[in-house]
Amino acid sequence: MTARVEKAQHDPRLPALEMFFEEFDSPIQHLATDFLEAADEHNLDWRLLPSISIIESGGGKAYKNNNIFGWDSCRRSFPSVRQGIHVVASRLANSKLYRDKDLDEILRTYNPREEYAGLVKSVMRKLGPSEGNLNPSLN
């Protein structure tokens, strides 16, 4: 068993994320570990990317170019959905458009429609509390 799998199996966020995707009948449930790893690697709220994927593609039900996030108005193509998770996480953390912004500013930049931030945040709340409340080892 790899260290990555071992760590994921003990992460309390993993079953919450898997259940979340299952409740939305999402075909990307098997990528839950990738969502958590990408969030941790880039210091993002662990609920952000899964929630954006629900809003943008129904959690992987309707997408093109392996782009479940609607990134670049779906013009951006990724070699795989897994790769897309990691690329988008990196851009949200490191791009001058997004870095050093709070959640509302990130979401406004991601999609300036007035209702967008509220939609994503409502899905985030369904997923559960922020990482500080669910996984204290990440603080």
Please check whether residue 52 is in contact with residue 58, taking contact to mean a CB–CB distance below 8 angstroms: no
Q: What pLDDT shows up at residue 129? A: 82
pLDDT band at 130 (very low <50, low <70, confident <90, very high): confident
* CA angle (84 as vertex; 87, 131 as ends), nearest 5: 70
Q: Quick check: is 98 in a domain?
A: yes
Residue given tokens 């609920």 in the structure block? 47
- The yes-or-no verdict on residue 107 having pLDDT over 90 is yes
Please check whether residue 68 is in contact with residue 77, taking contact to mean a CB–CB distance below 8 angstroms: no
Give per-residue pLDDT as tens, 64-105.
Answer: 999 999 999 989 999 999 999 999 999 999 999 999 999 999
Residue-range definition of the domain harbouring residue 54: 3-126
Q: Quick check: is 25 in a domain?
A: yes
Return phi, psi of residue 67, to 5°. -115, 90
pLDDT band at 134 (very low <50, low <70, confident <90, very high): very low
* pTM (2 d.p.): 0.87
Domain count for the chain, please give it: 1
CATH of the domain at 27: 1.10.530.10
pLDDT band at 6 (very low <50, low <70, confident <90, very high): low
User: Alpha-carbon torsion 99, 35, 28, 31, what sign?
Assistant: positive
Q: Taking phi first (over 0 means left), then psi (-120 to 50 degrees means alpha), and beta for anything else, what does residue 134 get?
A: alpha
